[in-house]
Copies of this chain bind each other. A is one copy, B any other.
Amino acid sequence: MTKTQWRSHCPINIGLEILGDRWSLLIVRDLMMKGRDNFRALLDGGEHIASNMLSDRLAKFEEFGIIVRHEDQNDLRRKVYTLTERGIALAPLLYELIVWTAEYEKTAAPPEELKKMKHNRDSYLREIEASAKAAAKSQSSKI
């Protein structure tokens, strides 16, 4: 996978070449909003992603600078994944996907939550971005 050979240079096309599949944004969701930060946790994330798919997407995300893989000094088997600034910047996209889907399909999102989200977009995004940033920082400070 070479980062430089796009089908076309339209930003929507490039965005889709990076994220346009069934799994990528679900992984970002788990990293950003569910506190899942390692391979096992992401595997058990509820939508039954296969381990080779997860492995492949995490590698791509690293290539594209969307996540960073940290070594855990307490457990050398374990790797911890955190979102970079670029990964965190996907929050508005996820937000719009949630709102659009919940508007037109029955989903598991609690109506109360949705109402809050819709009426406080900015503060909702700020909160999510702050917590994601905190998670990233806590890892990188561990050397």
Contacts and interface: CB of A to CB of B under 8 A. Distances in A.
A92 B7 CA distance: 23
A112 to B, nearest CB: 14
A65 interface: yes
B86 A11 contact: no
A119 interface: no
Interface in A108-140: 108-109
A142 interface: no
Contact of A12 (B9, B12, B26, B64): B26
Nearest to A92: B96
B26 A101 contact: no
Contacts of A107: 9-11, 14
